[in-house]
A and B are shown apart, each in its own frame.
Chain A
Amino acid sequence: MKAIRKFLDKIKPNFQEGGKFPKLKSTFGAFESFFFVPNHVTTKGAHIRDCMDMKRNMTAVIIALLPALLFGMWNVGNFHYQMTGEEAGFWCQFFYGLGQVFPIIVVSYVSGLFLEFLFAQVRKEEVNEGFLVTGLLIPMIVPVDCPLWMVAIATMFAVLIGKEVFGGTGMNIVNPALLARAFLFFAYPSKMSGDKVWVAGLGDAEKVVDGFSGATPLAQLAEKGQTQYSLSDAFFGFIPGAIGETSTLCILIGAVILIWTGVASWKIMISGVAGLLLTGLLINACGSDVYTQVPYWHHLIFGGFAFGIVFMATDPVTAAQTETGKWIYGFLIGIMVLLVRVINPAFPEGVMLAILFGNICAPLIDHFVVQANIKRRKKRALAK
């Protein structure tokens, strides 16, 4: 520890103004503050400060993502061996999944962080930590067979067009990870939807076990009104789907971590679930085709709703920022998920579009909450 500090102190002058590499100041700063919380002290105002900083905040989200990520890795192996019909033990399945998923994570981080560092350097700012979470979210919401070059392009598109053009971290309108997925979804639909992409190796497999289907339960429900997977399969996550979205249980563990640490808004999660359930009840009552008759609460555990409402909708930058607004925002997302899933015939899954829609509506929701506050104040002034 002291050796690292000594080394950093020794090479630090090279990266300051007048040193050998002043252009790498932000890069050096990012690595230095990775090892050490800096020795900055307060000067005025509050002399003491909470120990929480952006790094800690993002770390908490990453820890909350880990159960779903690790399960997702195992599940990739699980379905791959189901497809080939080979016998494989737990660790064998896990390491197969790790081998499939890890490259996607690396590509996502490298391509995104490259742009983040570049922009920080050009703007002469510190490197913001926001991408630490985005870089892990992207691999968790794509199909495992998504080619790596697509991941790289989508990530760079999301960072550049989704975030940096608006001014960087904290200024973006839509969630960058979801933007990356939307980019892939509309640019390369054959690699992002259908029955072939959700199981590793299914797309170009020579031999597949008889009767094996790579279709997600939602696709089956949309088509036939029923699925081969049981409710407990869906809850524990033994279903095909995007890498991190399948296990409702693991996502719930993440949700508990996020709510307990106070990092994500429970209001958005609760109102999102409420919006989905109420809309589901309504659709159950009025709908006529097979998909509308799927019991309303099944939508909680099939597909990406749990992952979306816990990890994506709660992104504080793109969610509503007022506390009242968060209730409305979550509820709106809950409603939109079912509208896109069930009423819209084009897509069996609607979480991504619902949250993007919520992101775009969030400033409007906030506007009305702020106006209500302003009106209350003006009314009080008149009332005296």
Chain B
Amino acid sequence: MSKVIKLKKGLDINLKGISELDVVTDTGVNEAEISIKPSDFPCIKPHLEVKVGDKVKAGSVLFTDKYRPEICFCSPVSGTVTEVRRAERRRITDVIVKADGNEEFEQFDTSNLGSKDAVKSLILKSGVWPYLRQRPFNIIADPQAEFKAVYISTFDSSPLAPDYQFTLKNEIDSFQAGVSLLSKIAPVYIGLNNKIQDNIFANVKGAEINYFEGPHPAGNAGVQISHVCPVNKGENVIVVDPQAVVIIGRLATKGVYDTSKIIALSGSRVDHPCYVKTIANVSVANILDGKYTEEESRIISGNVLTGTKIDNNGYLGFYDNGITIIPEGNYYDFFGWALPGLKKYSVSRTFFSWLCPKKSYDLDTNMHGEERAYVVTGTYEKLLPMDILPMQLIKAILAENIELMEDLGIYEVAEEDFALCEFADTSKTEIQAIIRKGLDLMVAESR
């Protein structure tokens, strides 16, 4: 039985530079460079399975996880391993593959997918498993664990996020195939946006469908899970984004690791915000070439609240379905804290921008202040639609009090759920990094 769940807490930040629908540029993957970054996956330690110069196909293993060797990270293209970049203490930062344009795929056997173990083994060896993230801890799902649910949120409510109704409208068969395959691991739950008419995901079979309404973070899987099937201690839930479900569907039907996808190119510094057809982990240089204002711009793989800063020859993050470009905020603001601030966006009404609530904003990366002690209370609570006490949880993490973190619900949260709290934080602390630190502590404790 499907439910409609209305969430009141949260915030929709109205930013300039939303991608226009039905403009799709195909940048092609010929000769493109891709990079798989171990830093996209918290709590793994990469073990290289290839060396520079090796020929690989799409679906060939590049590296595995030392802690859980059955998890493979595969190349999304066919080509040659050209470089393995390392940072201090030989930590691997990038494994780079240059595509040869042949588009050869490793072929995986998709017959005999009756049992849960067969499905798991197929997903693991094909390199798709890293798309399955688990709550607790927001890390790649543990292949050995039992799961109580697979959760898919079919909409992204973050600012300037890609519209899956548009990017996946021709992929609904693959999506259905993905859902059917995942339902062999655990019961599948799908969260739909209640505001969308003729939702393309409304007729998906083999899953429990629930509807959600409200401002961001209503689209976050973690928020939806907390209302549908909350994660208790000892339980595990798999979280997959809809784009990844399509990739899983292609694996189920064609037996290949095909990551081609349509991503959003958005933000106020993009000349014509649009959608781009490309593949996972691709170098953004080709995509961005001549399409944005280069001076003093911040390129973000992902969205403005949770994405990763990259440079203009960086790579699309493994989980990211969009690139956002906004102005850098490297300037001094004369009496910025004292002036009326008609153009300054704030959740509070301390700036007079509340006079025009419908306006869209061109926000930059300035911190608008310096780090301070925690003084203001009540802000985070308005932005987190979960039964979690955010301030108390953050303080428990800072105190590294494992037992209290567990009591206050660390198993239910991910960094992204706190992104808005970080945005609105008067004390200008890095809340998502704090939450990640807490999750890492819990992982270390459980190993």
Chain A: residues with CB nearer than 8 A to chain B?
A: 1, 4-5, 33, 35-57, 59-60, 126, 128-130, 168-171, 260-263, 265, 316-317, 319, 321-323, 326, 366, 369-370, 373-374, 376-378, 380-381, 384
Q: How far is the CA of A384 from the CA of B423 in the complex (A)?
A: 35
User: 18 more A-B contacts (CB under 8 A) besides A49-B366, A53-B370, A262-B347?
Assistant: A1-B334, A5-B334, A37-B368, A37-B369, A38-B370, A39-B332, A45-B306, A46-B305, A50-B424, A51-B368, A52-B368, A54-B376, A55-B337, A57-B348, A128-B373, A169-B372, A323-B378, A326-B378
Q: Does B115 contact A (CB under 8 A)?
A: no
Give chain B interface residues in 305-321, CB to chain A under 8 Å: 305-309
Digit string of B388-414 for contact with A (CB within 8 Å is 1, else 0)? 010110000000000000011100000
* A48-B305 in contact given A262-B349, A316-B377, A323-B381 (Cβ < 8 Å): yes
Q: How large is the interface on B (under 10, 10 to 19, 20 to 34, 35 or more residues)?
A: 35 or more
* A169-B375 in contact given A53-B428, A262-B350 (Cβ < 8 Å): yes
Choose among A46, A169, A321 the residue that contacts B432 (Cβ–Cβ < 8 A).
A46
Pair A45/B433 contact, Cβ less than 8 Å: yes
List residues of chain B with CB within 8 A of the CB of A376: 387
Q: Does B422 contact A (CB under 8 A)?
A: yes
> Which 7 A-B pairs have CB atoms at the shortest separation, nearest pair first?
A53-B369, A170-B373, A37-B336, A381-B232, A37-B333, A55-B337, A51-B344
Q: Does B341 contact A (CB under 8 A)?
A: yes
Pair A128/B372 contact, Cβ less than 8 Å: yes
Chain A residue with the shortest CB-CB distance to B298 = A47
Interchain residue pairs with CB less than 8 A apart (20): A33-B370, A37-B333, A37-B369, A45-B306, A46-B306, A47-B304, A52-B350, A53-B370, A53-B428, A55-B369, A59-B338, A129-B372, A130-B375, A170-B375, A265-B378, A316-B375, A319-B377, A322-B392, A326-B378, A370-B389
B interface secondary structure, majority? loop
Q: How far is the CA of A49 from the CA of B363 in the complex (A)?
A: 8
Q: Does B345 contact A (CB under 8 A)?
A: yes
Choose among A57, A126, A262, A321 the residue that contacts B371 (Cβ–Cβ < 8 A).
A126
Q: How far is the CA of A374 from the CA of B411 in the complex (A)?
A: 13
List residues of chain A with CB within 8 A of the CB of B415: 45
* A47-B347 in contact given A42-B367, A170-B374 (Cβ < 8 Å): no
Digit string of B325-365 for contact with A (CB within 8 Å is 1, else 0)? 01011111111111001001111111100000000000111
Pair A373/B365 contact, Cβ less than 8 Å: no
Q: Does B50 contact A (CB under 8 A)?
A: no
Q: How far is the CA of A170 from the CA of B364 in the complex (A)?
A: 29
* A52-B326 in contact given A41-B367, A46-B422, A46-B423 (Cβ < 8 Å): no
Q: How far is the CA of A57 from the CA of B306 in the complex (A)?
A: 26
Pair B334/A36 contact, Cβ less than 8 Å: yes
Most buried by B among A47, A56, A262, A369: A47
List residues of chain B with CB within 8 A of the CB of A39: 329-332, 366
Choose among B15, B348, B391, B420 the residue that contacts A262 (Cβ–Cβ < 8 A).
B348
Most buried by B among A1, A54, A376: A54
Q: How far is the CA of A370 from the CA of B367 in the complex (A)?
A: 31
Pair A316/B378 contact, Cβ less than 8 Å: yes
Chain A residue with the shortest CB-CB distance to B332 = A36
Q: How far is the CA of A52 from the CA of B348 in the complex (A)?
A: 7
Pair B350/A374 contact, Cβ less than 8 Å: no
List residues of chain B with CB within 8 A of the CB of A55: 337-338, 369
> Shortest distance in angstroms between A265's beta carbon and chain B's nearest beta carbon?
6
Digit string of B68-94 for contact with A (CB within 8 Å is 1, else 0)? 000000000000000000000000000
Give chain B interface residues in 140-167, CB to chain A under 8 Å: none
List residues of chain A with CB within 8 A of the CB of B389: 322, 369-370, 373
Chain B: residues with CB nearer than 8 A to chain A?
A: 13, 15, 230, 232-234, 298, 300, 304-309, 326, 328-338, 341, 344-351, 363-378, 381, 387, 389, 391-392, 407-409, 415, 419-420, 422-428, 430-433
Q: How far is the CA of A51 from the CA of B240 in the complex (A)?
A: 33
Most buried by B among A39, A51, A171: A51
**Number of A-B pairs, beta carbon distance below 8 Å:** 216
List residues of chain B with CB within 8 A of the CB of A52: 346-348, 350-351, 368-369, 424, 426
Pair B407/A374 contact, Cβ less than 8 Å: yes
Pair A47/B232 contact, Cβ less than 8 Å: no
Q: How far is the CA of A292 from the CA of B389 in the complex (A)?
A: 41
Choose among B366, B376, B422 the residue that contacts A57 (Cβ–Cβ < 8 A).
B376
List residues of chain B with CB within 8 A of the CB of A48: 13, 15, 304-305, 326, 363-365, 423
List residues of chain A with CB within 8 A of the CB of B427: 54
Pair B366/A45 contact, Cβ less than 8 Å: no
List residues of chain A with CB within 8 A of the CB of B336: 36-37, 51
Chain B residue with the shortest CB-CB distance to A317 = B375
List residues of chain A with CB within 8 A of the CB of B298: 41, 47
Q: How far is the CA of A374 from the CA of B409 in the complex (A)?
A: 8
Choose among B300, B341, B370 the residue that contacts A126 (Cβ–Cβ < 8 A).
B370
Chain A residue with the shortest CB-CB distance to B434 = A45
List residues of chain B with CB within 8 A of the CB of A37: 332-333, 336-337, 366, 368-369
Q: How far is the CA of A381 from the CA of B329 in the complex (A)?
A: 45
> Shortest distance in angstroms between A271's beta carbon and chain B's nearest beta carbon?
14
Q: How far is the CA of A369 from the CA of B367 in the complex (A)?
A: 33
List residues of chain B with CB within 8 A of the CB of A317: 375
Chain B residue with the shortest CB-CB distance to A170 = B373
List residues of chain A with CB within 8 A of the CB of B419: 45-46
Pair A126/B372 contact, Cβ less than 8 Å: yes
> Shortest distance in angstroms between B186's beta carbon and chain A's nearest beta carbon?
15
Choose among B306, B309, B345, B373 the residue that contacts A43 (Cβ–Cβ < 8 A).
B309
> Shortest distance in angstroms between A270's beta carbon and chain B's nearest beta carbon?
14
Pair A263/B423 contact, Cβ less than 8 Å: no
> Shortest distance in angstroms between B231's beta carbon and chain A's nearest beta carbon?
10
Most buried by A among B232, B330, B381: B232
List residues of chain A with CB within 8 A of the CB of B381: 323
List residues of chain A with CB within 8 A of the CB of B408: 370, 373-374
Chain A residue with the shortest CB-CB distance to B334 = A1
> Shortest distance in angstroms between B153's beta carbon and chain A's nearest beta carbon?
20
List residues of chain B with CB within 8 A of the CB of A60: 348, 350
> Shortest distance in angstroms between A370's beta carbon and chain B's nearest beta carbon?
6
Pair B309/A44 contact, Cβ less than 8 Å: yes
Pair A370/B392 contact, Cβ less than 8 Å: yes
Pair A171/B373 contact, Cβ less than 8 Å: yes
List residues of chain B with CB within 8 A of the CB of A262: 347-350
Chain A residue with the shortest CB-CB distance to B419 = A46
Chain A residue with the shortest CB-CB distance to B389 = A373
Pair A50/B374 contact, Cβ less than 8 Å: no
> Shortest distance in angstroms between B414's beta carbon and chain A's nearest beta carbon?
13
Chain A residue with the shortest CB-CB distance to B369 = A53
List residues of chain B with CB within 8 A of the CB of A323: 378, 381
Q: How far is the CA of A50 from the CA of B347 in the complex (A)?
A: 7
Q: How far is the CA of A37 from the CA of B341 in the complex (A)?
A: 13
Pair A41/B424 contact, Cβ less than 8 Å: no
Chain A residue with the shortest CB-CB distance to B328 = A41
Q: How far is the CA of A374 from the CA of B422 in the complex (A)?
A: 24
Q: How far is the CA of A168 from the CA of B233 in the complex (A)?
A: 37
Chain B residue with the shortest CB-CB distance to A168 = B373
Pair A53/B332 contact, Cβ less than 8 Å: no
List residues of chain A with CB within 8 A of the CB of B367: 38, 40-42, 49
Most buried by A among B333, B348, B391, B407: B348
